[in-house]
Amino acid sequence: MKMKQEQSTKELEIKALISGAKSHLAQIGYRPRTIERLDAVWKMLAAYCDSQGTSVLTAELGRAFVWERYGSTLGEKDTSHNVNRAVHLLLDFQKFGMVFKQSNMTIKEFSEPYHNLFEGFLEHLRQEGVSDGSIRTWRSRLFRFEYFLINNGVAHFSQIELHHVNTYIESLAGFSSGTVGGTIKILGRLFDYSLENGYHHKSFSEVLPNVRRIKKYRIPTVFTANEVERILKSVDRNNPIGRRNYAILILVAKLGLRISDARLLRFDSIDWHNKRLSITQKKTGVPLDLPLLDDVGWAIIEYLKNGRPETGSEYIFVRHSAPYGPLTDTLRKTVVNAIQKAGIKTPADKPIGMHTFRHSIASSMLANGAKLTEIAQTLGHAMPESTQTYISVDVELLRQCALEVTI
């Protein structure tokens, strides 16, 4: 039955394909508003196919549509992420007669046949020292794999055959090489674990393809010190949420904290007497100790006195609607709005967000003669080598690093 559905969706004209995809999404519980947003992209895609003289969608047409309209390719994480997602989802439905769960936020736990294996595997990784952040990523990818298997009639892990593995890897074609390589790495370790613990009679790890991760280095967007001040001044601090967002923004802009560390800052992280801020970084697990600058400290105090809701939360920054738990918003819209309000023009082809301030701090330190080890310490990199990327923000330093041409 699955093969018939897959075959029929491959042959559908794009308008019928869209109609089938919408019905499928509704059946598996997607919200009407989400389907409407996807449909808006699909209508533009259908019009694009028509302009190219065809009524049948192909992966090449999908990529061309995204590139010509949004200047990016499928799988890249940028401002056209939602468009990429819509096109990739429709291609999945066309090829496999199904769509994959796009987020693990709505999934509480693995299904009964896969629960013991997958949870045992994740606990095994945790005991080997894999970080909590990586565990969450691996869990999300296992949810996708489980969803694929169940929808292809594989009720138990022991029933997996090589063609299931190959078909699943095919379904990753629209993602970046890093995502594909990372997923295959997870599958390899999962197959080895399943063999060692009796969940399958063989491991497919040795026949999995090797995917070389292509790391793209590009000169990032940076702000000058003057632009940083203009951005900070443009934030509206006449309301509690504005005071909270400003305090987080100045933490990132002046101290170079990652947004995950700034929004999860705890009361016991600040030594007010010695003006120090000490945290264990969420991404790396590495301790970081920084001076608490006066303007940063006063911004936090202003929020605590005149913005923060009354709550016993251990976190300084909280949601402003009940329950008053830790903040989850990355505040990207706050940054973009502040940049626009400050009248600062940014390249259309480069991502802008909280991380831009870290690049800006690196750029400023490089310009003032700081060593990469000093920048690594300030930015909290686990390894100084991670800071090599930031060399690209300083054109003069690039010239100094260029190799002499020998004849």
Report the catalytic residues. 258, 283, 355, 358, 381, 390
Both structure tokens of 402: 């260029």
Q: Which candidate, 361, 356, 355, places its Cα nearest to that of 344? A: 356
405 exposure class (CB count in 10 Å sphere: 0-12, 13-18, 19+): exposed
Bin 202: left if φ > 0, else alpha if -120 < ψ < 50, else beta. beta
Q: Read out DSSP for 91-106? A: HHHHHHSS-----STT
Q: Which candidate, 44, 69, 167, places its Cα nearest to that of 18? A: 44
CB 220 within 8 A of CB 360: no
Q: Which candidate, 290, 235, 294, places its Cα nearest to that of 262? A: 290
Q: Which candidate, 147, 187, 146, places its Cα nearest to that of 166? A: 187
173 exposure class (CB count in 10 Å sphere: 0-12, 13-18, 19+): middle
Task: Quickly tell me which residue has 């913005």 as its tokens.
Answer: 307
Both structure tokens of 338: 């502040």
Residue 177 corresponds to which amino acid? S
Q: Give the span between the Cα atoms of 266 and 297, in whole angstroms.
A: 14
Q: Give the span between the Cα atoms of 93 and 57, in whole angstroms.
A: 11
In this structure, the chain runs to a length of 407
CB 256 within 8 A of CB 357: yes
Bin 23: left if φ > 0, else alpha if -120 < ψ < 50, else beta. alpha
Both structure tokens of 38: 């996807």
Q: Give the span between the Cα atoms of 144 and 252, in whole angstroms.
A: 33
